[in-house]
Copies of this chain bind each other. A is one copy, B any other.
Amino acid sequence: MLYDLLGYGERMGSKNSTATKRADALRSIDAIVQAAAECLGQNPEASLSEIARAAGVGRVTLYAHFASRAEVVDAAMSRAIDRGNEVLDTVDLSGDPLLALARYIEAGWHLVDQARALLAAAQRELSAERIRVLHAGPSARVEALLARGRAEGAFRTDLPLAWMVNVLHAVMHSAAEEIRAGRLTSEHAGHHITATVLAAFTPPGQPVPEAGGGAPR
């Protein structure tokens, strides 16, 4: 069984040289990817049958467009990442690094919350390398912001940049889990994450910034 390299490239935006698909085929593919994102978002173990049914499409049709389960998961994940990138594009990351990071968190944790279960599915089906590649966009964004903040003295430099990126995502991720478990409300999540991360990133010796204006508890 060969890797469908053309398929991957196609999903990642590159123009394919093969014959253009018919309109109804594109519609089917879109419905499948969308349904996959929804189904896998609710249950990472959702079968291809479920996904096809949710897409309002025959199971055979699904196989006509995707050679394997992995391809479906990949497409759904790619789609979610692309959507996320579009949202993050609208966030202003200039100006005071602390405020910029707060803005990033406010937009970002919702995305993490939505893609939570989908990511779980991807981690089972896709290689770690593939997942890393898919996340390259968001990672680069926050990495650049943190690097600038470090250069300006706003963030600590005694910890590796990669570790700080990791901490940010870990805290957002765990907040999403807490919400799902009913131990945290959506209203407080942004504030808690921001307060926690800004403190964690404060250079040693400097005072932790006071919280903006969120409810304390």
Contacts and interface: CB of A to CB of B under 8 A. Distances in A.
B210 A208 contact: no
Given A158-B216, A178-B166, A205 B199 contact: no
17 contacts: A128-B181, A156-B199, A156-B208, A158-B195, A159-B192, A159-B216, A160-B217, A167-B174, A170-B173, A170-B174, A197-B200, A199-B201, A202-B208, A204-B208, A205-B208, A205-B210, A206-B207
A192 B162 CA distance: 11
A196 interface: yes
Nearest to A45: B124
A202 B201 CA distance: 11
Nearest to A172: B170
Interface size class of A (residues with CB under 8 A): 35 or more
A209 interface: yes
Contacts of A57: none
A208 B204 CA distance: 5
Contacts of A200: 196-197, 199-200
Nearest to A169: B174
Contacts of A196: 159, 163, 167, 200
Given A163-B184, A163-B192, A197-B200, A211 B173 contact: no
A171 B201 CA distance: 13
B199 A202 contact: yes
A170 B170 CA distance: 6
A159 B193 CA distance: 10
